Each structure stands twice: as structure tokens, then as C-alpha cells.
Copies of this chain bind each other. A is one copy, B any other.
Amino acid sequence: MKLHDSGRAPNPRRVRIFLAEKGVTIPLVPVDIGRGDHKSPAFTALNPFQRSPVLELDDGTAIAESVAICRYVEELHPAPALFGTDARERAIVEMWQRRLEFGLLAAIAAVFRHLHPAMAEWEVPQVAAWGEANRPKVEETLRILDAHLADKPFVAGERFSIADITGLVALDFLKPARLAIPADLAHVRRWHETLRARPSAEA
């Protein structure tokens, strides 16, 4: 098994943090997006959508999509459970994982991709008005999240989960997107600091 991985981008990082939390090591194969490795015929055969990361199993099966990779690793290495421990908790983790993915990570990515000058050659067409339209979405999600986190350490409750990983990666992505956590959102700030302090955040 090997993981085709691409450094600093949010999705590859989500998988590496997940592996670090599990204490699992998988050999990495670098895919240099800047050099266009993800558009090579060999990589396109692994993932016709030309996105990294991809987990390549020993039988040749290629698993793309970060959350699909994490879920596969969870089945091979169930402890610590990062998708929840019973049906209700698993549903809550999935709910927050998706809320943070669509309402936060995707919205921050839209601001970054459609407004940052360095992305002009990568995001074609860059639609500045769409980037601008996502600024209030980011803040709206952060405000809902702040109220939610007032009485719990992690987004799905008492236990750290994959939803927190998506949250960490999203919040760390605010800076390149030239956004910030509003100063009055103390619970989101505390949560971000807690997540950044975990050794897995270095992955």
C-alpha cells in the first residue's frame, strides 16, 4: 500500500494528520502539483479526476478522495476511533465533518482560489465575485461553530474525530486565503489552539 501525496495542500494534509493520529505509517509517493505531476498519464490512470491524494492498494485498487482514504484506514486500524464509536456518534461525526467541509473548508478554498493573485493561473476562470460571495459564508459558519463549541471540547462532543481534522485544516487555510477568525469568537479560537497543539498538526 502506498499514498500518493502532495505536501501542503489541505486535502493531502487531512490524510497525513489522520495517519499521525492513528500512529500508522504508509510509504509516501510525492505528487508535485506545481510541476503538474497530477496531470501525467500514470497519475491520471490512478485518478481520472487528477486530484491528490490517492491511496494505492497492493492489488492496484486506487482510492481517491481524502475521506474515503481515511475511512479505509479506520477499517484497518479501528483504534483510536476517529469516525465515532456507535451509530449515533458516527452520525454526529459525519454531520459535522460535512458541515465543516462544505460550509468552511470549501468556502475558504473558494475565497483563496478565486481572489488570490497567485491562483490566477490555476483557477481558470477566476471569478472574483464568487470569491467575495464566500467571505460571508465563512463567517456565518464560524459563528454557528462558535456557539456550538461553547460547551464541548471537540466539534462532535467529548472525543477528537475526523471532523476536528477537517476543522484544523480549514482554520489553518484562513491565512493563505487572507481571512481570520473574528476576534469575538473565543470558542473557535480555543478549539483551534487545542488542535494546533496536538503533535499530529505537524503532519
Contacts and interface: CB of A to CB of B under 8 A. Distances in A.
Interface of A: 48-49, 55, 57, 61, 63-65, 67-69, 71-72, 75-76, 87-88, 90-92, 94-95, 98-99, 103, 125, 127, 129-130, 133, 141, 144, 147-148
Given A87-B75, A130-B127, A133-B127, A68 B95 contact: yes
A56 to B, nearest CB: 12
Contact of A88 (B57, B65, B67, B147): B57
Given A67-B94, A129-B125, A72 B88 contact: yes
Q: Which of A68, A87, A90 has the most CB of B within 10 A?
A: A68
Contact of A63 (B91, B125, B141): B91
Contacts of A99: 49, 64-65
Q: Which of A75, A92, A95 has the most CB of B within 10 A?
A: A95
Q: Would you list the 7 A-B pairs with minimal beta carbon distance, nearest first?
A: A75-B87, A68-B94, A72-B91, A130-B130, A68-B95, A65-B98, A65-B95
